[in-house]
Amino acid sequence: MNTIWIAVRDKMTRPFERLQESPQTEVDTGQLAVDERMVLKRIQINGTVGVTASESVGSFTGIYYIEGDEQTAAELFVDENLEALSQINFSRRNPISTSVDRLVYDWILHFLGERELEKYDTVVIERRSDGTVWCLGRRTFDETPMRRYTESDTGSARIDEGGLFGLYESSAEVITESTLRAKPEVAGDVREILDAFRQSPEFACEATTVDDELAIKKTFSK
């Protein structure tokens, strides 16, 4: 439920009360008060520059919601548009990615099963349906979303094969930055992978250092 406070009035409009209960596919915006319209948002899909007509998909049902309800709105959007969404190639620029902001897009991918997110204090683990895993610094994920998926910058690391668990299991008791850089399936800022090992309850380990490098040591119990 959205927590944004509407300026005190004797009574909210009925359409806004329904939006407070849940996002809606249809709203008579003309009935909303001025301050209510200020926090009204909509998931609305437009065309994509650079996408040919042969790659276009059917129309989408839009979703109205109150600012702050992005997660619930994205879930309803997926429920209402499963057939059209099944035609989208999410590995490239597409009508969804170019029509909504990054937060809504992340939740749409999450509810489609294209992407699962695990958020911790300083790292986010993103597991994709093709088996790829990204370990992203929390600041990179939250503050610079358009720079998340780069291997040449700090704050992002990719694991191509075996996932995070396979990488952990195939490594020795002590895993260092150098250990990870030597792995052919790993690219990017390996410190984010070490942070993911340290914070995820899936891995029994503790932080340490080896020759001035960050590292983790397996403890075999949590």
At 7-21, the pLDDT tens digits run: 545 688 999 999 999
Tokens of 95: 């009508």
DSSP 157-221: EEE-SSHHHHHHHTS-SEEEHHHHHT-TTEEE-HHHHHHHHHH-TTS-EEEEEETTEEEEEE-S-
Provide φ and ψ at 186, rounded to 5°. -110, 140
The pLDDT of residue 57 is 53
- Other CB atoms within a 10 A radius of the CB of residue 187 amount to 17
Q: What does the CA dihedral 128, 117, 103, 76 come to, rounded to 10 degrees?
A: 90
pLDDT band at 201 (very low <50, low <70, confident <90, very high): very high
What was the pLDDT predicted at 3? 45
Cα–Cα dist 131/133, whole Å: 6
Q: 128: burial class by Cβ within 10 Å (0-12, 13-18, 19+)?
A: middle
Domain boundaries, the chain: 10-113, 115-222
| Higher-confidence position of 94 and 210 | 210
Percent of the chain with pLDDT over 70: 89
Rounded distance between C-alpha atoms, residue 165 and residue 106, angstroms: 23
